Amino acid sequence: MGAGKTTIGAEVARRLGREFRDIDRAIEQREGAIAEIFAERGEAAFRELEARFVADECDRRTPAVIAVGGGAVETRDFLQDHDVLVVHLDVDVETAWSRVAGSRRPLAQDEAEFRRRYELRAPLYERVAEVRARGVDDVVLAAAGVRVEAGSMQLLDELVPGDGPVALVTEPRVAGIYGVDAQLALGKRLAEVHELPTGERAKTVPEVEKLWRALRIPRTGAIAALGGGALTDAAGFVAATYTRGCPWVPMPTTLVGQVDAAIGGKTAIDLPEGKNLVGAFHWPERTIIDPALLETLPPDERLNGMAEVVKTGLLAAEPLWELPDGELVRRCAAYKAGVCVQDPHDHGIRRTLNLGHTFAHALEAAAGYELAHGRAVALGLRAALKLSGRDTTPVDEVLAPERVRVDPEVAWQALLRDKKGHLRVILLGDEGAYETDLPERDVRRALDELIAE
């Protein structure tokens, strides 16, 4: 009671694109006021009703967010018998009482009894819930299987799902800083360690083939990918294809990885003809994000990541780039997680996450992937905002993009290949981002303006 289940649940449902169902409200619509049920039939009868309503909702095939009465766990363990993610909205007793005191709630008429119930239920919540949350972002992240917590890398043995062997895939610089810690944290589950090159070189067919051939884990094993966005892209693609698909867990160590690349199950490698042309959707068993790992991030890598932060802030219509690192990572990760849960296979709203990337991918390909992804995205964002008739100040002030020297015709052909036959671009309007067709001349002009003479 008083945890905010109805308010938070409705917003979580909106963010995930799912129906919202409130059990208390459903009971009142069919059975009458809860206060009257308590008065006329007693609490035991209400718990029976509550259990039946929750079971009915959980058995429905339509994905939904369900607000469950707090007392439901007192009488049965039915939540554990259904394939649902159970989230405990954690609230202290003082806050909860301040929200319900003076209401008509039957169990909020006596403060001493209210506090007794709170203490009684606390261990039951701990037993039945998989996740403890304080707000909307926490629930959205949990729904996407994303864990954002400083120090989480030290808990890999516990956080990598299952009990099978783990193949750790990392890259040279990261291995030198965090490799030993990751191996110690995985403990006896660590079966093998592999390295891919740093950056886009990891996302090439020869490097991926080497990893395929080196792996020895069975299908019951898992791949743990420790590194930047390119590393998790490549390792995730390997996981999607090795033994026709094995579980994987990305552990991003860069800002771009933590706020974008490692979230949502999009995996891919590059071809000379274009970026991310070969890939698969392969949702991670869990994504482990430790913001403390950003402390060793070089300034240029941080700037690369800030391009994705600015993109997310523009999409969310909030200056997320102004937040301190921990909150910045959490907010950006939660935004992307919500979009990806709504559209896991990129058929609709998820495409808006490509704001600026049409131009960025073309520039990267034209530069032979020697151009930093963040620098390319910064330029792409500037082009997208100008085509949208929007102010480019956030991009200019935070990212300060500079034109790049590449062959304009090579970049144009890469753009056409990247769009896979459709010249559609993500723009930003008053109601948010949207995908639209644009005249070829306008897109070509916007691309050329990003290229130094």
Q: Express each pLDDT in 387-421 by its tens digit.
A: 999 999 999 999 999 999 999 999 999 999 876 55
**250-293 pLDDT, tens digit each:** 999 999 999 999 999 999 999 988 889 999 999 999 999 999 99
H-type alpha helices, 71-135: 93-100, 111-128
The C-alpha atoms of residue 99 and residue 134 are separated, in whole angstroms, by 15
**421-448 pLDDT, tens digit each:** 568 899 999 999 999 999 999 999 999 9
Tokens 């990893």 belong to residue = 211
The C-alpha atoms of residue 161 and residue 223 are separated, in whole angstroms, by 11
| 175 Rama class: left (phi>0) / alpha (psi -120 to 50) / beta | alpha
Query: How high is the pLDDT of residue 286?
Result: 96
Instruction: Report residue 78's pLDDT band, with 50, 70 and 90 as the boundaries.
Output: low
**8-39 pLDDT, tens digit each:** 999 999 999 999 999 989 999 999 998 899 99
Q: What are phi and psi of 139, to 5 degrees?
A: -70, -40
Query: How high is the pLDDT of residue 419?
Result: 62
Instruction: Report residue 100's pLDDT band, with 50, 70 and 90 as the boundaries.
Output: confident
Percent of the chain at pLDDT above 70?
A: 97
Tokens 């079966």 belong to residue = 191
The C-alpha atoms of residue 363 and residue 414 are separated, in whole angstroms, by 8
| Whether 412 contacts 452, CB under 8 Å | no
The C-alpha atoms of residue 380 and residue 356 are separated, in whole angstroms, by 4
In the chain, where does the domain assigned CATH 3.40.50.300 lie?
Answer: 5-135
Query: How high is the pLDDT of residue 197?
Result: 97
| Whether 54 contacts 66, CB under 8 Å | yes
| Whether 247 contacts 285, CB under 8 Å | yes
Q: Which amino acid is at 396?
A: D
**234-250 pLDDT, tens digit each:** 999 999 999 999 999 99
Tokens 């090579």 belong to residue = 410
Tokens 């193949």 belong to residue = 167
The CA distances from residue 52 to 72, 79, 118, 281, 413, in Å, are 10, 11, 23, 37, 59
Query: How high is the pLDDT of residue 423?
Result: 83
Class of domain 355-448: mainly alpha
Please name the CATH architecture into which domain 146-335 falls: 3-Layer(aba) Sandwich (3.40)
Query: How high is the pLDDT of residue 453?
Result: 83
Please choose, from the candidates 440, 277, 428, 414, the residue with its C-alpha nearest in 3D space to the C-alpha of residue 352: 428
Q: Is 216 exposed, middle or buried (0-12, 13-18, 19+ CB in 10 A)?
A: exposed
Q: On the CB side of 84, how many CA atoms lie within 13 Å of its CA?
A: 26
The C-alpha atoms of residue 181 and residue 251 are separated, in whole angstroms, by 13
Mean pLDDT of 358-385: 95
- Go through 286-299 and write b for each residue having 16 or more CB atoms within 10 A of its CB, e for each that does not: bbbbbbebbeebee
Tokens 């991926």 belong to residue = 208
Superfamily of domain 5-135: P-loop containing nucleotide triphosphate hydrolases (3.40.50.300)
CA torsion sign for 169, 172, 174, 176 is: positive
* Mean of pLDDT over the chain: 93
| Whether 360 contacts 376, CB under 8 Å | yes
Instruction: Determine the 3-state secondary structure of 281 from DSSP.
Output: strand
Quick one: DSSP state of residue 109? S
Q: Which amino acid is at 372?
A: A
The C-alpha atoms of residue 107 and residue 50 are separated, in whole angstroms, by 15
Strands 266-271 and 222-227, by their bridges, are: unpaired
In the chain, where does the domain assigned CATH 1.20.1090.10 lie?
Answer: 355-448
Cβ neighbours for 176, distance < 8 A, ≥ 6 positions apart: none
Q: Where are the beta strands (DSSP E) in 236-355?
A: 248-252, 266-271, 274-281, 287-289
In the chain, where does the domain assigned CATH 3.40.50.1970 lie?
Answer: 146-335
